[in-house]
């Protein structure tokens, strides 16, 4: 069962394991992604170099780590490296999380995300509503890398996307939905102010990858998403007269300070069969 207690237990295991997460990610949020992984208790490695990939993934495999593919700042060389890294990770049974940043905004982004899903075994795709809708051919509107889609049908889209894409899917928004085609988790933590900080979605994807080293994809997504939601709530409550810069910094503080008491008293995780 996926609930607050299982989340708290997974967090304790994560801190003990300190899993290695290899990130092929975008240069907008790369520093924040590395820092949020450190804050949760994981070990980040940030490399786009194809010369690094084979050796790094061997190390990731040896220590039971995970791989993040994030298409936020795409170019053709990065796509080639992602395809190579994904294939190598599949050979080594290293779990992969894909963040299809901006899918639906441009043809290049949408086609790249779909190519990665088709050619690589992706363990979980995490995106906002617009991105996930774009991947399954539903009408949606993307502004930059931000979602402006209606989230009222989140459950339906999550179930449909999981089945059509053939993998686990997490949709983050005001309410978060995670589905593996048979089970659905809904999370109601977080604050709107999180959307004012660029990279919170990328950070959430990295947190999911850290939990994926010790849990099934639907569990890992639930814990990573809930962690960011709780951190956002706590950071906002302690903001006072400060603004977005302080809020961003406090996210890292609150991720690091997550504990059993916070999770069990504030986590809003619900589970059901599809």
Contact in structure between 71 and 31 (CB atoms under 8 Å):
no
Q: What is the pLDDT of residue 148?
A: 45
Structural domain of 189: 4-137+150-273
pLDDT band per the 50, 70, 90 thresholds, residue 274: confident
Whether residue 144 is contained in a domain is answered as no
Strand-pair partners of 106: 103
Summarize pLDDT for 189-234 with one digit per residue, the tens: 999 999 999 999 999 999 999 999 999 999 999 999 999 999 999 9
pTM of the model: 0.95
Summarize pLDDT for 226-272 with one digit per residue, the tens: 999 999 999 999 899 999 999 999 999 999 999 999 999 999 999 99
Whether residue 145 is contained in a domain is answered as no
> φ, ψ for residue 124 (rounded to 5)?
-160, 140
Rounded distance between C-alpha atoms, residue 255 and residue 94, angstroms: 25
Rounded distance between C-alpha atoms, residue 26 and residue 29, angstroms: 6
Q: How many separate domains does the chain show?
A: 1
Whether residue 266 is contained in a domain is answered as yes
Strand-pair partners of 46: 23
Question: Domain with 185 in it: what CATH number?
Answer: 3.40.1190.20
pLDDT greater than 80 at residue 147: no
Whether residue 77 is contained in a domain is answered as yes
Q: In terms of DSSP bridges, do strands 43-46 and 96-99 run parallel, antiparallel, or are they unpaired?
A: unpaired
Whether residue 142 is contained in a domain is answered as no
Q: What is the mean pLDDT of the chain?
A: 95
Written as one string, the DSSP assignment of 153-202 is THHHHHHHHHHHHTSEEEEESSSEEEE-SSEEEEE----GGGGGSTTHHH
Whether residue 53 is contained in a domain is answered as yes
Q: Rg (Cα) of the chain, in Å, rounded? A: 17
Name which of 62, 64, 83 is nearest 74 in CA terms: 83
Whether residue 15 is contained in a domain is answered as yes
Whether residue 10 is contained in a domain is answered as yes
């Amino acid at each position: 069962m996926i609930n607050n207690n299982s989340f708290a237990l997974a967090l304790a295991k994560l801190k003990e394991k300190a899993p290695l997460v290899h990130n092929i990610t975008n240069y907008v949020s790369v520093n924040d992604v590395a820092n949020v992984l450190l804050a949760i208790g994981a070990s980040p490695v940030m490399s786009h170099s194809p010369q690094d990939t084979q050796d790094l993934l061997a190390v990731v495999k040896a220590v039971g780590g995970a791989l993040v593919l994030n298409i936020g700042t795409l170019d053709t060389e990065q796509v080639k490296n992602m395809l190579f890294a994904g294939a190598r990770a599949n050979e080594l049974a290293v779990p992969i999380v894909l963040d299809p940043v901006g899918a639906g905004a441009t043809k290049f982004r949408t086609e790249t995300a779909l190519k990665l899903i088709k050619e690589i075994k992706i363990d979980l795709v995490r995106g906002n509503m617009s991105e996930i809708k774009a991947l399954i051919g539903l009408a949606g509107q993307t502004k930059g890398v931000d979602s402006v889609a209606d989230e009222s049908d989140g459950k339906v889209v999550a179930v449909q996307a999981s089945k059509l894409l053939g993998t686990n899917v997490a949709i983050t928004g005001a309410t978060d939905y995670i589905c593996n085609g048979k089970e659905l988790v809904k999370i109601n933590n977080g604050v709107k102010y999180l959307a004012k900080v660029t990279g919170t979605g990328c950070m959430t994807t990295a947190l999911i990858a850290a939990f994926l080293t010790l849990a099934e994809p639907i569990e890992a997504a639930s814990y990573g998403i809930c962690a960011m939601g709780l951190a956002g709530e706590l950071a906002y409550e302690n903001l006072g007269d400060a603004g977005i810069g302080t809020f961003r910094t406090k996210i890292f503080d609150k991720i690091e300070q997550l504990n059993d008491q916070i999770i069990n008293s504030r986590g809003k995780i619900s589970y059901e069969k599809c």
